[in-house]
A and B are shown apart, each in its own frame.
Chain A
Amino acid sequence: MKNWFTKNNIRWAVFTVLVYALFQYLISVNIINSYYQVVLYNIGINIVLALGLNLIIGYSGQFSLGHAGFMAIGAYCAGLVMLKVDGTVGFLAGIGFGIVMTALIALIIAIPTLRLRGDYLAIATLGFSEVIRIAITNMDDITGGAAGLNNIPKITNFNWIFGVIVISLVLIVNFARSSHGRATASVREDEIAAESMGVNTTKYKTLAFVIGACLASVGGALYAGNFYTLTPGIFGFMKSVDILVIVVFGGMGSLSGSIVAAFLLGLINMFLNDYAELRMIIYSVLIIVIMVYRPNGLFGNKELNINAIFKRKGGKRS
């Protein structure tokens, strides 16, 4: 237990509480009004999705374009449970059900596809994600088909989203900074060398893929609890690309990068809402410019250093 309370961990905990308090304050005094809250929740859900994809792309080096598919599974599983069971219990049960289903399906997908590399893997995962979407569209009796699910109770709020992000972050960082996380990174670095050093590369690729998919599923569940309705159209190819852009923009392998990128892109999108026709053009140009000047993304593969922040704030030095 004493290992849990290192100086670094305590600083992160304090930082987390401060961020939480700051947002709660801004919401309570209505600086973040109901419109901004919609944007904020969207950003939060994107963060959860991006963290999962970052584990797959940034840590294990497997290029997946199928994230929206797993998000869809999570969203529909949660939606269906929430329509049957009310309140928090239903939401939690829905998230759990989504995780189990996603883990199973991700495992089934991982076994054949993770033998592929690079572009081929991207195309295969994209294909599977479309299969999931079309399957949902055609399972009329259960999913409501193209019309989707309606009247899902709204349970997602700031506390849920913040909580899920913090828990996901802790779990991913714990995974990454362990023997298993290092083995996963070695697969990204050099698969042949990793295998020759006794790393079961298939196992670690699959593990990262399944954990990442499960996070997408949780993101999907948060989405289901936020928007009242679910239609298969939401989970198309472009959703996967949106998440991919966040991960690449923030820096592959950098969790803090993904969070900052999700915020920046979410805000840019919000401000560009006023320029309806030009929105996508400006957005694209911005991304091109940023990628030209920072080809490794905002943070590269580095993480935000909590100790540096505390020093800058004049806090206690270690």
Chain B
Amino acid sequence: MNILTVKNLTKNFGGLCANSNVNLEVRPQELVGLIGPNGAGKTTLFNMLTGVYEPSEGEILFAPNGKEIKLNGRKPYKVTKLGIARTFQNIRLFTSLSVIDNVKIAMNKDVKSGVISSILRLPSHYKEEARMEREAMELLAIFHLDEKADELAGNLPYGEQRRLEIARALATKPKLLFLDEPAAGMNPQETAELTALIKEIKQRFQVSIVLIEHDMSLVMKLCERIYVLDYGKVIASGLPEEIRTNKRVIEAYLGEEV
């Protein structure tokens, strides 16, 4: 069974159709690429899948534990609680908070101690704080950010901010992870490191990953299947080799031959 099934998803902004009849499937533990020229509707699709936008038509079915749940109309934080996490195209860290606090905030949804317990500093508060501290440091260590745990997130160099965003998303313990242009603005060496990191994440955290990316070397190296979006529609899908030689995809990127 698919972990994510998208059926005929459509989003209209007034008269503008950002996505129309998008069908998409993600299988458990799969790494799926989503590519397309700028303005093709990739990020809009992500926003619908994570609850930021409500779809105009169509269905989003998410099956974290073998049972399909309809995601339409759920708020983003409820979608996240079900097991979907994401990063953002233009990094959206909590810049004036520390690196470790960024990660701990993503753990807030599973916190067992209530507000009263925190205000009165009851034992359950200390227990939960100690657990979060430990788990957050473990997570940061995987991303080589543990030594910068107390720095402000906004003061990290660009590449580390990108890594922290992924770490923060993973702190929500997702079953399905959306990465929106994780390699944007990175140099070739950083991109190579990121490629290895994404592979490692998939193994270690047992997540399915959908990634939007313009860097073709990364997409072709990593993705098991690729969907190509153009003008809001899926124009092609398949294995990387198939996409590479697909005529419609080449046209979408390079224009038609005259």
List chain A positions with a Cβ less than 8 A from chain B. 3-4, 171, 174-175, 178-183, 185-186, 189-190, 192-201, 207, 301
Contacts and interface: CB of A to CB of B under 8 A. Distances in A.
Contacts of A183: 105, 108
A197 B172 contact: yes
Interface of B: 50, 52, 75-77, 80-81, 85-86, 88, 92-97, 101, 104-109, 111, 113, 115, 118-121, 125-126, 128-129, 132, 168-169, 171-172
Contact of B97 (A189, A198, A199, A201): A189
Contact of B101 (A4, A174, A182, A199): A182
B96 A301 contact: yes
A198 B80 contact: yes
A175 B119 contact: yes
B129 A182 contact: no
Contacts of B108: 179-180, 182-183, 197-199
A181 B132 CA distance: 14
A19 B141 CA distance: 43
Nearest to B106: A197
A119 to B, nearest CB: 22
A194 B105 contact: yes
18 contacts: A174-B120, A174-B121, A179-B104, A179-B107, A179-B118, A179-B129, A182-B101, A185-B94, A189-B97, A192-B52, A195-B52, A196-B85, A197-B80, A197-B85, A197-B108, A198-B81, A199-B109, A207-B115
B162 to A, nearest CB: 14
A178 B109 contact: no
A151 to B, nearest CB: 36
Given A186-B94, A190-B93, A201-B77, 8 more contacts: A3-B121, A179-B111, A180-B108, A189-B97, A194-B94, A197-B108, A197-B169, A199-B105
B105 A195 contact: no
A185 B97 contact: yes
Nearest to A174: B119
Nearest to B112: A179
A198 B77 contact: yes
A79 B180 CA distance: 57
B121 A4 contact: yes
Contact of A180 (B95, B118, B169, B171): B118
A178 B125 contact: yes
Contacts of A194: 94, 105
A201 B129 CA distance: 20
B75 to A, nearest CB: 7
A301 B154 CA distance: 15
A171 B132 contact: no
Contacts of B115: 175, 178, 180, 207
Nearest to A175: B119
Which 10 interchain pairs have the tightest Cβ spacing? A178-B118, A198-B109, A189-B94, A198-B80, A193-B92, A195-B76, A197-B106, A179-B111, A183-B108, A186-B105
B96 A196 contact: no
A182 B97 contact: yes
Nearest to A9: B121
B120 A189 contact: no
A179 B128 contact: yes
Contacts of B81: 198
Contacts of A171: 119
A193 B118 contact: no
B195 to A, nearest CB: 24
Contacts of A207: 115
Nearest to A201: B77
A183 B106 CA distance: 9
A215 to B, nearest CB: 13
A196 B50 CA distance: 7
B97 A186 contact: yes
B121 A179 contact: no
Given A196-B52, A197-B105, A198-B80, A189 B95 contact: yes
Given A198-B80, A198-B172, A301-B96, A193 B119 contact: no
A2 to B, nearest CB: 9
Contacts of A4: 121
A195 B75 contact: yes
Contacts of A3: 121, 126
Contacts of B111: 179-180
Given A174-B120, A178-B118, A193 B104 contact: no
B111 to A, nearest CB: 5
Contacts of A200: 77, 109
Contacts of A196: 50, 52, 76-77, 80, 85-86, 88
B105 A178 contact: no
B97 A190 contact: no
Contact of A195 (B77, B85, B169, B171): B77
